Amino acid sequence: MGKQTAMEGNEAVAEAMRQINPDVVAAYPITPSTEIVQNFAQFVADGAVDTNFVAVESEHSAMSACLAAAVAGGRVMNATSANGLALMWEILYIVSSLRQPVILSVVNRALSGNINIHCDHSDTMGARDTGWVQLYAEDVQEAYDNLIQAVAIGEREEVRLPVMNCLDGFLLSHSYELLEVEDDEAVREWIGPYQAINPMLDIDTPLTFGPLDLYDYYFEHKRSQMEAYPPAKEAIVAEGKRFGETFGREYGLFESVMLDDAELVVIGMGSTCGTLRDVVQAARADGVRAGMLKLRAFRPFPAEEIAEALSGASAIAVLDRAASFGAHAGPLYAEVTSALYSYGQQIPVNNYIYGLGGREILPDDLATCLDDLAGIAESGQPGEPVSFLGLRE
């Protein structure tokens, strides 16, 4: 049996890393993810793990060392935020292209400029095309659970992709919450031993990694990489179910909250969904048929599943904690509307950009989304496509 305890998000992630006991962690500190690596380094110093901890001189080096360790044949983890993630950019693509299941906890923080250390999703939204699976956590429990599941998802034979375990900076990373921490042995048994595929350290089977690949084969290689994402989607569902069977908390691609008969649906990701859950419940108490779709897996994006889940809605609001500069709307909105269009759903959708740089989001802000949706559902007229919550206008 696990134990109930109070932990910060960073502490819970470090605890999961201790239990997973990866072969290699190579990391460079950045607020607000520093504590993950700091706590984990203490586990290394205390002999609580067998991990080879590599202190490097930058995030570019950190991810490069992780890639090398993974190609060599190890189970590898790391943590970062915002500008640190940006400095890893080049290597993020190479890790996914080489199909290495490296696990990266990203404590979401606003990208510069100007300098801001607080939460928004501009860092991981920017990395959405790097080929990494992305899971988002609503609370500390989910950040802990997602990290354990990330190992199982990424390492599946038919997947072999890197996974980002995303949790909101400060709102989760530095907030103490009650959570269930499972037994070390139970966690280790659940993830199982690491099965390296084509490890470079198998010197009896020499292989070539990352060769020059021009117009003759590169296109075929990228197409074959695309084939890993549908199985990744299935793996998220299957491992979420298996996690539920073992530990009692089941997960999927997204969580549907009162969605079955909902007319007015709000879609969000991350800790804001905790607030949104209350707002939707309060609206229900007032007789409003409101619902929430809490997206957990942004990559691979569950387009068909979302279109299906939203098929009964009259009006939809999409919450984006990131701007996509030069685009007509936020990144999550673009994905959701594209999914609806692709699968034949003609439902008005509003986009709300909120919480940039850690700007507070309050229940009243989210309630205005439902008010707007009620107006749209009644009039049948789509509203302003993009608006801002909590902004001084």
Partner 1 sequence: MSHYPPDATWHEMERGGIIPQAGNAQEYNVGGWRNEHPVRDDECCIDCLFCWVYCPDNAVYVKDESVKGLGFSPEHCKGCAICARVCPKDCIEMVPGGEFTEEQPSSREEA
Binding site for partner 1 (CB under 8 A): 97-100, 160, 197-198, 205-213, 216-217, 219-221, 223-225, 227
User: Based on CB atoms, which residue is closest to partner 1, 97 or 246?
Assistant: 97
CB within 8 A of 216, min separation 6: which ones?
none
Give 204 or 245: the residue with its C-beta nearer to partner 1. 204
Q: Give me the residues paired with residue 351 across strands.
A: 318, 386
| Cβ-based nearer residue to partner 1, 163 or 315 | 163
Distance CA 87, CA 108 (A): 15
Distance CA 19, CA 32 (A): 22
Nearer to partner 1, 155 or 305 (CB): 155
> Residue 186 CB, nearest distance to partner 1 (Å)?
31
| Six-digit token string for 21 | 């006991």
Alpha-carbon distance 141 to 12, whole Å? Answer: 8
Instruction: Name the phi and psi angles at 91, rounded to 5.
Output: -80, -25
In the three-class reduction of DSSP (H, G, I as helix; E, B as strand; rest coil), residue 297 is classed as strand
CB of 262 to partner 1, least distance (A): 41
d(CA 42, CA 31): 18
Q: How far is the CB of 133 from partner 1 (least distance, A)?
A: 16
- Smallest distance, partner 1 to C-beta of residue 20, A: 23
Show Cβ contacts of residue 197 under 8 Å, excluding neighbours closer than 6 positions: 157, 160
Identity of the residue, 129 or 213, whose beta carbon is nearer to partner 1 in the bound complex: 213
In the complex, minimum distance from the CB of residue 223 to partner 1, in angstroms, rounded to a whole number: 4
Nearer Cβ to partner 1, position 64 or 351? 64
State both tokens at 18. Answer: 């201790």
What stretches of 276-338 adopt beta strand conformation (E)? Answer: 290-295, 297-299, 315-320
Are the C-beta atoms of residues 126 and 321 closer than 8 Å to each other? no
H-run or E-run covering 164? strand 163-168
Between 156 and 321, whose beta carbon lies closer to partner 1?
156
- Nearest-approach distance from CB 368 to partner 1, in angstroms: 47
CB of 300 to partner 1, least distance (A): 17
Q: Which is nearer to partner 1, 185 or 227 (CB)?
A: 227
Contact 288, 370 (CB under 8 A): yes
**Measured from the CB of residue 226, what is the shortest distance to partner 1 in angstroms?**
9
Least gap, CB of 216 to partner 1 (angstroms): 6
- By beta-carbon proximity to partner 1, the closer residue of 176 and 219 is 219
92-95 long-range contacts, CB within 8 A, separation 24+: 92/63, 92/127, 92/130, 92/131, 92/132, 92/162, 93/130, 93/131, 94/67, 94/210, 95/63, 95/66, 95/67, 95/70, 95/131, 95/132, 95/162
- Calculate the alpha carbon distances from 63 to 30, 129, 336 in Å: 14, 17, 31
